[in-house]
């Protein structure tokens, strides 16, 4: 079978709601197999109807526990849920695999729920692209809700969170320097703030600190609510859901949802553009031996990487633009 035919078959299976085809489709995309491009053509051409919620916070704040609780609430409301757990921290921790095992417990037998972990494999940009791809595949499958969960450590999850309509930033008391521990970028992307482990001492303090920092934001637009939860006991999760829903309503009332999604598509577009450009330039320069010469010049100290890269882009990208115009 050709890759195109294989992709068609996989796509039909996913649309029909076949879970193993969805799992296979995600692997195809993650591993960059031959049929990936065709499969993604189908996936991205299906309008994104799922609502996407992003959940981020330091390790141990209770994200997985919260996701389980939110999944249960969505299921009670008759909604189906796809969960993507992204581990941008390290390709070596095995965190993604462990995460899967932990999460399998609560909803293993429920066909309305699908969990998938994405490990970084050392490519930060690749993670963000795959996040978009997996959202597209889960949307094709027909999930009404998609949750993207990621560890809050820096820039990479700010990128990942561009895919979410609503971003929940979670903190917990007793995890060291609470608010200071969250990077400024993470604070800025929060649409809803959640103080989990509200049963522990220090929750009030964390709440006050967050509220103070939120006061420093530019006034106007959406003011992010701060919700307290005890995810382990299920308390406060309904309030969290209400806060997420009111943010969604806000987005649609001011027509911002599509704008946010354009931002996410821009991120995917940039990723692919980068990949395509690199491939084109390297292929062409290899064909006529230019690459070999440049590598020799670099090794001999005759040129530097930045100048060489600019030369290659000028030679193979700009020239092809001129010849096609």
Q: Which residues bind ligand GDP (CB under 6 A)?
A: 57, 59-65, 196-197, 199-200, 230-232
- Cβ proximity to ligand GDP, 64 vs 80, nearer residue: 64
In 146-182, which positions are buried (b, 16+ CB within 10 angstroms) versus exposed (e)? Answer: bbbbbbbbeebbbbbbbbbbbbbbbbbbebeebbeeb
Nearest partner of 115 among 150, 147, 91, 152, judged by Cα? 147
DSSP-derived pairing of the beta strands 113-119 and 166-171 = unpaired
DSSP-derived pairing of the beta strands 226-228 and 113-119 = unpaired
- Cβ proximity to ligand GDP, 101 vs 306, nearer residue: 101
- Cβ proximity to ligand GDP, 43 vs 231, nearer residue: 231
- Cβ proximity to ligand GDP, 73 vs 232, nearer residue: 232
Q: How far is the CB of 279 from ligand GDP (least distance, A)?
A: 37
Q: How far is the CB of 266 from ligand GDP (least distance, A)?
A: 29
Q: Which two tokens stand for residue 23?
A: 């799992």
Q: How far is the CB of 91 from ligand GDP (least distance, A)?
A: 18
Q: How far is the CB of 19 from ligand GDP (least distance, A)?
A: 24
- Cβ proximity to ligand GDP, 61 vs 136, nearer residue: 61
In 82-117, which positions are buried (b, 16+ CB within 10 angstroms) versus exposed (e)? Answer: bbbbbbbbeeeeebbeebeeebeebbeeeebbbbbb
Q: How far is the CB of 118 from ligand GDP (least distance, A)?
A: 15
């Amino acid at each position: 079978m050709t890759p195109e035919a294989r992709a068609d078959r996989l796509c039909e299976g996913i649309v029909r709601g076949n879970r193993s085809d969805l799992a296979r489709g995600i692997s195809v995309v993650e591993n960059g197999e031959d049929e990936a491009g065709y499969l993604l053509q189908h996936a991205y051409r299906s309008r994104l109807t799922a609502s996407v919620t992003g959940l981020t916070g330091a390790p141990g704040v209770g994200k997985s526990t919260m996701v389980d609780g939110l999944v249960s609430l969505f299921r009670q409301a008759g909604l189906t849920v796809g969960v993507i757990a992204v581990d941008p921290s390290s390709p070596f921790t095995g965190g993604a695999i462990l995460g899967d095992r932990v999460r399998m417990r609560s909803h293993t037998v429920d066909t309305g729920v699908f969990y998938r972990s994405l490990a970084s494999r050392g490519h930060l940009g690749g993670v963000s692209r795959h996040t978009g791809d997996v959202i597209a595949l889960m949307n094709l499958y027909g999930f009404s809700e998609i949750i993207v969960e990621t560890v809050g450590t820096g820039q990479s999850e700010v990128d990942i969170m561009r895919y979410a309509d609503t971003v929940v930033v979670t903190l917990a008391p007793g995890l060291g320097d609470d608010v200071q521990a969250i990077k400024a970028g993470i604070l800025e992307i929060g649409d809803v703030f959640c103080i989990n482990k509200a049963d522990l001492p220090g929750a009030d303090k964390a709440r006050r600190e967050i509220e103070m920092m939120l006061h420093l934001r530019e006034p106007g637009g959406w003011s992010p609510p701060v919700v307290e939860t005890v995810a382990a006991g299920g308390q406060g999760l309904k309030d969290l859901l209400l806060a997420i829903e009111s943010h969604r309503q806000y987005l649609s009332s001011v027509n911002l949802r599509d704008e946010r999604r354009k931002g996410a598509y821009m991120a995917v577009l940039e990723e692919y553009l980068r990949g395509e450009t690199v491939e084109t330039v390297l292929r062409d320069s290899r064909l006529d031996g230019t690459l070999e010469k440049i590598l020799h010049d670099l090794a001999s100290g005759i040129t530097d990487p930045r100048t060489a890269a600019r030369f290659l882009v000028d030679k193979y990208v700009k020239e092809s633009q001129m010849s096609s115009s």
